[in-house]
Each structure stands twice: as structure tokens, then as C-alpha cells.
Amino acid sequence: MEFVNDNGALVFYKHGEMCRIEAWGKDSLRVRSTMLGRLSGNDWALTEEYVKPETQIIFGTERYWDGNGEPEWKNNATIINGRIKAVVNFVGIISFYRDDKLILREYFRSYTGTISRESRCLKVINREWKGIIGGSEYSLHVKFESNEGEKIFGMGQYQQSCMELKGCVLELAQRNSQISVPFAVSNLGYGFLWNNPAVGQVTFGKNYTEWVARSTREMDYWITAADGPRQILENYTAVTGHADMFPEDLMGLWQCKLRYRTQDEVLTVARQYQKEGIRIDQIVIDFFHWTVQGDWKFDSKYWPDPKAMVDELHSMGIKVIVSVWPSVDRKSENFGPMMEKGLLIKTERGAAQTYDYQGDCVEIDPFNPETRKYVWEVCKKNYYDLGIDAFWLDNSEPDYGVYDFENYRYCDGPALSLSNIYPQMYSRVFYDEMSQLGKPVVNLLRCAWAGSQKYGNVVWSGDVPSTFEAFADQLQCGLNMGLAGIPWWTTDIGGFMTDDVNDPEFRQLLIRWYQFAVYSAVLRMHGDRGPYNIPPLDDRDWGGGYLHTGQPNELWSYGEENYKIMKKYYEIRMEMHDYIAGLFEEAHTNGSPLIRAMFYEFPEDEKCWNLQDQYMFGERYLVAPILHLNQFEREVYLPVGQWRLTSTGEVYSGGCSVTVDAPIEYMPVFERI
């Protein structure tokens, strides 16, 4: 096999495959290959400029035995970038080393002519390409050896109880409440980015790891070596991008419900908060304030003077965010022009429909620059020019009526090849334009992909149930999202789907969730609150008045005792303002999440690698959420050091577990001293 030094990159060819390994950032390598003769030039998540590091490429030989048992020598090659090294043997198997210690090796079980672990007759190879009949794309399977004792984290957000991912099978696809951000952090001191937006799957098996792209034109992954998770994320965000500086006037309370139906409702709520002496930083105007999906404008019957509404809210120091969906109803005034110009997603067969909630809809194609221009111009005229500050980009996966990815196509190619980056492209409809206008950009999205942190995205965890089980899942979701490089992450306080706001068990859940949210990146009240006994505003089958609304969802909506608790925790949030601002600055400079897995701060403590029901809010506060109904005490593990329990002031010595009280008025929090 021939190896070539191509201007500091190691290139080799094998059975029609061209593979390129090159330094890409500090202590990091990017690996690409294709069966099409040349690479596409797509950088996907690896968007940031960096100083090209000096690398070493060494050509050598290794011994093997031919069929007669005689020794022969075959070529191999090594590329070194700082602490990371890749060695490619004579059959194209790549092995990665951190400080000369093996951390990852491609999996190969076929006869090589050597007596080795890889020399088997199974004909299982490390990189398997299979052409898709009738197209230029391939399905791709890439396998790696499984490391015994390894723990894997990150990968975005999956609605499951497992935070540690070894042994898990994860779909690489976007869904409502599922966010595929394919960056994994290993306790062996490396991070791995599957830099490919294709729909697929990853299996972190005990026997091997396998990455699958169902339709792609090239393999692309990036690997970095470092001492621990903090340094891994620093290397990762240096090449994928950092979050912007978060505005200090958005670090408090965001008020939202399903849904404020009129501008009078919005102003009434805002005035009441002002009367109560509680500052809300932003109020959210949710869906169906519009006429039909895709009109992207206020229904004038219920929002007769939105500019006057925005002006009054601004006078109170409140910013305004409105919901924008990517779906365009056939009845929309924009459907005809957008369909005619090819600005909507195309279906491969059957009817032109991708979404069917409250209308016959096709969603926009943000891969098309003309789509991005069209949608922004409409939203600028109907929202931004009225003073609207930000956009809630809901359904941003997009939320297909049926997740048949093989039936959809974007202007850049089939959805199977590209769909995972859709939410990022959707966010850029707004970010690319707003960032040129001189104001900070903070938009709210339900989905993200690798690198989305640089596009002003606050990502929330989607439409999750209002249960303690779902609450526990959101904690591990948030910790893994942070480890995947997404620091601006939040949830619907109390969960999204509630049958009865008067249920005492729901109200207990709401308080426990609210206490947790105070110690997270964004404090945001939201939820679809039943029972649905509020009549619609009119009998039209379209517009802002016909759809149902949820029960009130303001801090005072759940009884005086609960209101007292929420006000107390609101004050705690306000008192932490300067500290929280410092955490957002860290996220901006080195990629550190605000809510951190215990091992992020204590990587040398083996126990911390096994904890998922407590976390660090920055480096100072250890937070122990209450994740079960009628739980009024809990055990908390304290790493070595001194810890002050904030409820009593009592100081504990760490290196052990302690049991502390957790009445409904209090969630255990320890301050590191």
C-alpha cells in the first residue's frame, strides 16, 4: 500500500478508497476517506480557523508472514500532532495513541498474513462502503475496537435513563426531544467527533464500536487527546466554535406558557410581574399567534398593535421572543411563491407533505440560500422591524409527520445524507442576518448539531412528559449536552405535558424542577397545562383565536405556598447573577458547560465518573436535585474538600457520602469552600 506526505497530511489508497489524515487543531487529527476519488471540501462542524500545527510523518515497515511462513516486510506510516499519534498499518487499519498509549483502534477481522488479533477469516473490515443502487452515495460502517473499562459520555440528548453510554445504541437522527450531537468524551483521555450529518446509528458495544451513515459520500471524523474532559472540550470548541457572550439582561427569568393568545394577555401578565416586584427578562409569545403556519405574522384580530405592545414591554425592561415554525401551510400566502421557487423540502414520492399538525404543510429547505433570504425578509418585516428581540425556532428538527428520512430531499442532497444538520441551518436563517445588525443573538431552539453553540442557540430539551422519571432523564440529557459542546441548554420547568395543574403531585414536581432550573443556564417557565377547559376565542378554523390554550403558568399560578418557594428561589437566582455571568464567560472562552458532570470538576475521583443524579453548577456549587415524588431527604456524594450546606451553613468534609434533609422548600446545594 502506498503512503504519501501531502503537505503535512498522510494520504493512502486502498482498494479504491482514498484516505487522508491530517492535524486539525491542538493534539488533534482529522480523518477523511472517500470512494469517489476526491474529498468534497465540506468542513461540516469543523468551521473554525486555527494555526496549523507542525506534524511529523514517518514512513516505516512492519513484519508479516506469507503463506509459506516466511517473513516479509510491508509499509506502514505514522502521523504525530503533539500528544496524539495515528499509525496506519499495511492493510489500512488506523490506531490512535495518546502520549504513546493506545486509546482507539479500528476493528478488523480478516486475514492479513500475520498471526495477530486482526488476522481472522471473518472478512469483517474496518471501513465498509456499500454503494446505494441508483445513486452516487454509499452506506458506510466504521468499526473500532472496544476498550475494556472505558466510559463514554456526550453525544447530545437522548431520552433515556443512561448517562454513561457504553453499551448503548443511539440513533443518529433528530426528533422532538432527541438531539444528535455526535461528539463523545472518553474517560481514557480523548474526544471523538463523527463529523458527518447523515442519518445513521452508533453502537458503543462491549465487543466493538460501530458508526453507521445510511447515505454519505465520505467518511469524516476528528479525534483529540487531552488530560481530561475540560481540556477535551477546550480542544473541541476551538475547532467547532464557541458560544457567544450571553447577554446579562437575559440571565434571569423567562416567562412562557402555552399560549398567550392576545397582546392584552401578554401585557396583563407583564404588568402583574411588575406589580409583584419580579423582573422578567423575556416574555415568550408561543405558536398560533399567527394566521396560518408559514405566514409568519401576527393575527391582527388579536394582536392589533404589536409594536405598541413591544414598546410597553421594553419600557419595563422586558425583551420579547416570538415562535417561528419552519412549516408552511398550503393556505399560507407564502406557500405558492416558495413552492414555485423550490424553497421547500421535496418528497421523493407521494404527496408533497412533510408535516400535518393543524394543517397540510411542507417545511422550508434552509440548505437553500434563497430560502434563508426569503424567510428572513418576511420575519424581519413582520417581527424584527416591530422591535421583536428574538425568535423561538420551534420544530427545528424538523418535526416530520413521519420520520421517513429516505422520502425527503434538500437542495444539497437527500435527507438521509444531511438531515442531522438541519436545525443548525434553520438557526442560521436568523443568526447570519441578526449577527450583522450589532445586537447579541439569543434564539431558542428545540434541536442542534455539532457546532450549533456558535449560532446563538439556547437549546431546550423538547416536549417531555411532566413526570419525575422524565425529570431525572433531563438531568442526564443536560449533562451530556454540555459534554457535547452545547452550554446554553434548558428545559420546560415542570415538563411540557400536564393533564391537571391542580394535582398535588404535579405541583410537587413543578417545585422540584423549578429549584433545579435556578441552577441551570436558562430559567424558563413553560408548559402545556391542562385541563383544557378554556374555550377558544372564536369559531374560525384558522388564526390566533381557534386553537386551545393551556392553564395559567406564572409563578403565582400554583398557590401561595408554592409562590413563596418560587420567589425565594428567584431571589437566589438574582443573587447569583455575577457568578452566572462568569460561567457564561467560561462557556464563551473555553467551552465549559454551566451544568457539569461531577467528573468534569473532579476527573481524578473515580466515584464521580459513576454519578448522574448530582452535578456541579460551575466550580462552586454542588447541586443535588430531588428526583422522586415525596422524597424529603437524599444522599449526596462530596468529593475531597470542604463543603458548606447552603440551607444550614453546616460545613462537611468531603471524600464521603452524606444524607441531608430536603423539605419541599429546599433542594440540597453545597458550596465549595
Q: Which residues are catalytic?
A: 394, 397, 463
Cell 473541541 identifies what position? 236
What distance in Å separates the CA atoms of residue 79 and residue 58, rounded to the nearest whole number?
Answer: 6
For 543, phi then psi, to 5°, come to: 85, 180
Residue 351 cell numbers, joined:
404527496
How far apart CA 647 and CA 663 sit, in angstroms, is 11
- Count the helices and strands in the chain (H runs, E runs): 12, 41
Q: Distance between CA atoms of 599 and 608, rounded to whole angstroms?
A: 5
At 94 the three-state DSSP class reads strand
Rounded alpha-carbon distances, angstroms, from residue 228 to 50, 231, 249, 364, 454: 21, 6, 33, 41, 23
Nearby residues of 503 by Cβ (< 8 Å), 6 or more positions away: none
Rounded CA separation 380/382 (Å)? 6
Give 638's strand partners.
656
Q: How far apart are the first and last CA of the chain?
A: 59
Given a contact cutoff of 8 angstroms between Cβ atoms, the answer to whether 94 and 220 are in contact is no
| Sign, Cα dihedral of 171, 173, 178, 182 | positive
> Burial code of 447-469, b = ≥16 C-beta within 10 A, e = fewer?
bbbbbbbbbbbbbbbbbbebbbe
CB 383 within 8 A of CB 350: no
**Do the beta carbons of residue 487 and residue 232 sit within 8 Å?**
no
Q: Dihedral of CA 121/122/126/129: which sign?
A: positive
> How far, in Å, CA of 520 to CA of 481, rounded?
13
- On whether the CB atoms of residues 18 and 24 are closer than 8 A, the answer is no
Instruction: Report the C-alpha gap between 121 and 82 in whole angstroms.
Output: 36
In whole angstroms, give the CA distance from residue 49 to residue 31. 17
- Alpha-carbon distance 91 to 77, whole Å? 11
Residues near 621 by beta carbon (within 8 Å), at least 6 away in sequence: 519, 669, 670, 671, 672
Report the distance separating Cα 207 and Cα 144, nearest Å. Answer: 9
* Rounded distance between C-alpha atoms, residue 260 and residue 517, angstroms: 22
Contacts of 172 (CB under 8 A, 6+ apart): 180, 182, 194, 198, 199, 200, 201, 202, 212, 213, 420
